[in-house]
Amino acid sequence: MVANFPKLIVLIGSVLATSSCAQNPPVSSDRETEIFSYLTNEVSNDLIDLESVIGKCSAQAESRGALDLEAIEVEGENATRETLMLGISHLYFRNLFECERAARERLAFSLGTLKSHEPPNHEYTTDIDGIKSALLYPTRRQIEHKLKYQNLSEDLRASLEARIGQEPFELMDTLEKNGVLGH
């Protein structure tokens, strides 16, 4: 997600700039133009804030590094590589998303406000919807992981959650350190 963020900023910036340049002054009042400009600026500020928060959360994950989860046993059974990979991966995405949640919610609100006050003759609602789904919400794959994670035993989930906690961490290094990656 972090690697794609600059591309998304360019996309969003170009959508917003195109939209504001394409305004038709005879149809829109000066007040509508002022409101649209203000809301566009709010979206831009919230985008910059989200980019900063994503960077901070990634730095937090890097500083925490790989987690040593020890041998996880649940009711006398060793967890399989597959279940460990699923659990660790889900908690990685969950922790990062929660770290970024407040900034994502602010951007979602400002995009929704902009969309609800779209001036006449402006039709970039589809662009905003695409931006929101690409940047603000969990991916389909993350949701699928969550559903599979919920099917793991409660004991395994509790054990993983207790050892991993709520803070972001390095996914690949954690998988490697705990022997979860197959060779």
Which residues fall within 8 angstroms of residue 70, CB to CB, at 6 or more apart? 163
Model pTM? 0.78
Which regions in the chain score pLDDT beneath 50? 1-3, 18, 20-27
Q: Are 90 and 149 in contact (CB under 8 A)?
A: yes
pLDDT tens digit string along 90-141?
999 999 999 999 999 999 999 999 888 876 666 666 667 777 777 788 888 8
Q: Is 130 left (phi over 0), alpha (psi -120 to 50) or beta?
A: alpha
Angle subtended by helix axes 140-150 and 81-116, to nearest 10: 130
Partners of residue 77 on adjacent β-strands:
74
For residue 142, the surrounding DSSP H or E stretch is: helix 140-150
